[in-house]
A and B are shown apart, each in its own frame.
Chain A
Amino acid sequence: MHWLLWSVVIITVLMTTTAWALWLERKLAARMGSRLGPTMVGRHGLLQPIADLLKLLQKEDILPEAADGALFNLAPILTAVFAIATVAVVPFGEGVIAADLDIGVLWVLAFGGLMVIPVWMAGWASNNKFALLGGMRAVAQAVSYEVPLVLASMVPVILAGSMSMTDIVHYQQQHSWIALWPTLPGLPAFLLFLLASLAESNRIPFDIPEAESELVAGVSTEYTGMKFGLFYMAEYIHTLVSSAIGAALFLGGWSGPFAPGLHWMLLKTLGLFVFIYVVRWTLLRFRQDQLMRLAWVWLVPMGLVLVFMAAVVVVWGGA
């Protein structure tokens, strides 16, 4: 029953962290643009996420007359479920894990791949041109960056000889962070992983699927109230969970001196999360053809080369 407790705790913490991660991002973005961000609700606007949630819950729920009702209603729920379910296999400390699957990395990749389906469902079911275009772009982009993501995640798997995230962290405790030590496949693989996860979660500079100056709001154009809220939430959960996975696979997970492991894991996760947001508010958007070219012409061969480098390191170095 140990794991059931952890499941509930991890989901609760993830949802609350997401709410205040949103606050953190708004504050950060505002400061970067010489603004103040939320200040009115609570001290420093700290109660803003609660106010937002209450507002979203009260909003009228509109089903467009031309939309495909069943798919339209199912899509936001599925998005949120897939985003949350990914975190099941991420270890936050020794034994602090919901499901210590021996195919952890595969689980993460599978749920990342599934995320494409509800996005396309929403785009198609809305029967709105902006949503459809947004959906097509999102699928093309997610599918293209899926390949480099899989290849980059394969490097820690090859080095540690296991797909269990716990085993990968243990390996890093015995040797060193994968992003640091076998520098050649490790560090580039970490960067490739970061880049691909940025693209997978549709963050700037990869946010062509909902480029607001072209597509209004992409797939979420027709959504109102809590259903829009679920899309929004899923996006932030996805970014947070990607940061946690990056920290566990490449940055040594919960290993670190002085403080308990859980602190280190959370620190690394938040560090990556903040990094992703600083990137978001610094860079401009890529053009679609640049996006596709980057993925297929550069990142895919790079990922393959890294995978074989890791294999050679393992076979020759016996590491």
Chain B
Amino acid sequence: MATASLAAIVFVLISAVVASSLVVAAKLLRVRAKVDSPLKRRTYECGEEPLGPTWIQFHPRYYVVALVFVIFDLEAAFLLPWSLIVRELGMAGVIEVAVFALILMLGWAYAVKKDALKWQ
């Protein structure tokens, strides 16, 4: 398994080299503009002067989605190791995890009831 881990790390490194070499190649091959125009470095806003700041506070519904995601992602993190040993644990294991999921789904039902996931 040590070889597999090494192979995985090397694979990521190779993909990093491939991706960055494309950017470097573009840096070497690109055509440089003879006349510099500051206008082309202006933020694109359909040709108008950019209006107001971009980095603003955004709608709380994104925050709600992030919160619900954290809960369900944690659940997935608990379920993944369990999914490997379902056979050994037998019915007792299934029931125990089902109870855990059921408690979680109560929270989900509350969120649905409160229209938290409705994106209004």
Q: Do A and B come from one complex?
A: yes
Which A residues have a C-beta under 8 Å from some C-beta of B?
3-4, 7-8, 11, 15, 56-67, 73, 76-77, 80-81, 84-85, 88-89, 98-102, 106-107, 124, 126-130, 132, 136, 139-140, 143-144, 146-147, 150-151, 154, 157-158, 161-163, 216, 221-222, 225-227, 229-230, 288-289, 292-293, 296-297, 300-301, 304, 307-308, 311-312, 314-316, 318
Q: Determine the residue in chain A with the shortest Cβ distance to B112.
A: A297
B-side interface residues, number (CB < 8 Å): 66
Q: A63 is contacted by which of B3, B11, B41, B50 (Cβ under 8 Å)?
A: B41
Q: Determine the residue in chain A with the shortest Cβ distance to B94.
A: A311
The smallest C-beta distance from B91 to any residue of chain A, in angstroms, reads 5
Q: Which of A15, A56, A296 has the most CB of B within 10 A?
A: A296
CA distance A153 to B18 in the complex (A): 29
CA distance A157 to B76 in the complex (A): 13
Check if A66 sits within 8 Å of B43, measured CB to CB: yes
B60 at the interface (CB under 8 A from A): no
Q: Write out, one digit per residue, whether chain B residues 1-29 have a CB within 8 A of any chain A CB (1) or not (0).
A: 10111011011101110111011011101
Check if A84 sits within 8 Å of B19, measured CB to CB: yes
Check if B87 sits within 8 Å of A315, measured CB to CB: yes
Q: A307 is contacted by which of B5, B79, B85 (Cβ under 8 Å)?
A: B79
Interface residues of B in 71-98 (CB under 8 A from A): 72-73, 76, 79-80, 83-87, 90-91, 94, 97-98
B-chain residues with CB within 8 Å of residue A150 when the two chains form the complex: 73, 76, 80
Check if B19 sits within 8 Å of A58, measured CB to CB: no
Check if B105 sits within 8 Å of A60, measured CB to CB: no
The smallest C-beta distance from A65 to any residue of chain B, in angstroms, reads 4
Q: A88 is contacted by which of B8, B27, B79, B94 (Cβ under 8 Å)?
A: B8
Q: Say yes or no: A146-B69 contact (C-beta < 8 A), given A85-B15, A230-B19.
A: yes
Check if B8 sits within 8 Å of A101, measured CB to CB: yes
Check if B16 sits within 8 Å of A288, measured CB to CB: no
Question: Knowing that A66-B50, A98-B8 are A-B contacts, what are 10 other residue pairs whose CB atoms are under 8 Å apart, sorted by A's residue number?
Answer: A59-B30, A73-B23, A88-B8, A127-B43, A139-B62, A154-B79, A157-B80, A157-B83, A216-B44, A230-B19
A-chain residues with CB within 8 Å of residue B38 when the two chains form the complex: 65
Q: Write out, one digit per residue, whether chain B residues 26-62 have a CB within 8 A of any chain A CB (1) or not (0).
A: 1101111100001011111110001000110010001
Q: A128 is contacted by which of B1, B14, B19, B43 (Cβ under 8 Å)?
A: B43
Check if B118 sits within 8 Å of A60, measured CB to CB: no
CA distance A140 to B62 in the complex (A): 7
The smallest C-beta distance from A287 to any residue of chain B, in angstroms, reads 9
Q: B23 is contacted by which of A154, A230, A296 (Cβ under 8 Å)?
A: A230
Q: Say yes or no: A144-B105 contact (C-beta < 8 A), given A56-B26, A300-B72.
A: no
